[in-house]
């Protein structure tokens, strides 16, 4: 009998561990809004972010496959809101959008992506949109300023987004360098800033962008093989969190 009980307990532990592994596939960071509601960020891959808020699903630049990583969007809830920053394949994926969308999904994109997808609400730099009583979005510039890189992300084409969810301000920069317009981005609680050569920022530019915006929390993302491990030491006062956004 003792051996049977021991075996049952071992099986329960193994089952629990397996369940936890399945549920914890992606790193999750949770934050509270101004009125105490919970917002959760799931680090999917590269520039793909899943956000949960009060039973609502928000997807940023979903892609089904990047390198050797595959995201099973069919196992996730449909998106209430889905944002696309620009047309490059590591940000814009028709298959992922179709899997995540139903008749209630609000698709928000720049003009080029809406044209390519054949649907979606378009936003250009400077546009603002009230999505719900407690949810607004502003499209902000995202582009390359270095002369040899301007062909990657020309000024005026692509979007970054500032989401304000029940007072919590979230800046999703998209593919950009440390552009002058960042001087106008204020009161950011959480910032996702890219660091990947030659398409976005160097680590030095990332530090400069973070010092300019001064978010409370900063996630380097879209960083590929770039070493961002030393960035935190140069940003005292900012909570730098490195997750699997290679």
pTM of the model: 0.90
Please name the residues in contact with 165: beta carbons below 8 A apart, sequence gap of 6 or more: 33, 39, 53, 134, 135
Query: Per DSSP, which regions of the chain are E strands?
Result: 27-32, 38-45, 48-53, 56-60, 65-66, 69-70, 81-83, 106-109, 121-122, 128-132, 135-142, 158-165, 168-172, 190-194, 217-221, 239-240
pLDDT tens profile 73-116: 999 999 999 999 999 999 999 999 999 999 999 999 999 999 99
**What whole-number distance in Å separates Cα of residue 160 and Cα of residue 172?**
6
Can you give the pLDDT at residue 10?
34
Place of tokens 């502003």: 138
Residue 103: both structure tokens together = 């008749």
pLDDT tens profile 136-155: 999 999 999 999 999 999 99
The CATH class that applies to domain 26-240 reads: alpha beta
Ranges under pLDDT 50 in the chain: 1-24
Can you give the pLDDT at residue 25?
86
Place of tokens 């992606």: 26
């Amino acid at each position: 009998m003792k051996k049977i009980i021991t075996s049952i307990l071992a099986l329960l532990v193994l089952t629990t561990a397996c369940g936890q592994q399945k549920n914890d596939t992606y790193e999750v960071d949770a934050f509270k809004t101004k009125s105490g509601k919970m917002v959760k960020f799931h680090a999917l891959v590269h520039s793909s972010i899943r956000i949960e808020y009060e039973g609502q699903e928000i997807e940023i630049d979903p892609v089904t496959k990047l390198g050797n990583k595959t995201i099973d969007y069919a196992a996730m809830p449909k998106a209430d809101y889905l944002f696309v920053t620009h047309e490059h394949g590591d940000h814009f994926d028709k298959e992922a959008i179709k899997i995540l969308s139903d008749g209630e999904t609000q698709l928000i994109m720049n003009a080029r992506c809406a044209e390519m997808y054949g649907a979606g609400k378009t936003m250009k730099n400077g546009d603002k949109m009230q999505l719900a009583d407690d949810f607004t979005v502003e499209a902000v510039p995202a582009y390359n300023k270095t002369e040899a890189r301007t062909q990657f992300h020309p000024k005026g084409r692509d979007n970054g987004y500032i989401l304000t969810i029940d007072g919590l301000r979230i800046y999703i920069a998209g593919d950009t360098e440390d552009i002058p317009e960042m001087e106008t981005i204020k009161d950011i609680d959480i910032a996702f800033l890219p660091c990947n050569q030659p398409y976005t920022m160097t680590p030095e530019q990332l530090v400069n962008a973070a010092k300019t915006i001064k978010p409370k929390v900063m996630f380097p993302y879209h960083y590929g093989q770039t070493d961002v491990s030393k960035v935190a030491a140069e940003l005292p006062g900012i909570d730098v969190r490195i997750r699997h956004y290679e």
